[in-house]
Amino acid sequence: MHGINVQVFQKGSPLVADVSKAILILSENGVLQDLENKWFSFPLECATSNSNDVERFSVQGFIVLFLLFAVTSAIWFLLFLARLLNGYANETGGGFTFREKLVRLWRYFD
């Protein structure tokens, strides 16, 4: 290993000796090195590719991201507005119509 020092078990845990022994056996057998080579090694050369085969990120991808953001923002804004109107309606009482409540709310924020 490359000097990794991680404390996994509490001091005095009976599992420390068994796990340490198992890791030592895996290290001596070369299993840890094989795993490291398999998952963490990188090829020395880049794969050859034709520049025509490269996919480019198109404007359509940005449009999709923008629409996703816009729809999500609109939904959250409508939810916020519904909660705001509901809270305002509870404070003003039931003597006003919905239109009157909206006008009063508009005047409040104006």
* Cα distance between residue 71 and residue 51, in whole Å: 36
Under DSSP, the state recorded for 53 is: G
Of 6, 10, 40, nearest to 23 by C-alpha is: 6
* Domain boundaries, given as residue ranges, for the chain: 1-44, 57-109
Burial 80-89 (b: 16+ CB within 10 A, else e): eeeeeeeeee
- pTM (predicted TM-score): 0.37
pLDDT digits (tens, 9 = 90+) for 41-53: 877 776 666 656 6
Please, which pLDDT band fits residue 63 given cuts at 50, 70 and 90?
A: very high
38: left (phi over 0), alpha (psi -120 to 50) or beta: alpha
* Cα distance between residue 63 and residue 93, in whole Å: 44
Does the pLDDT value for residue 105 go beyond 80?
no
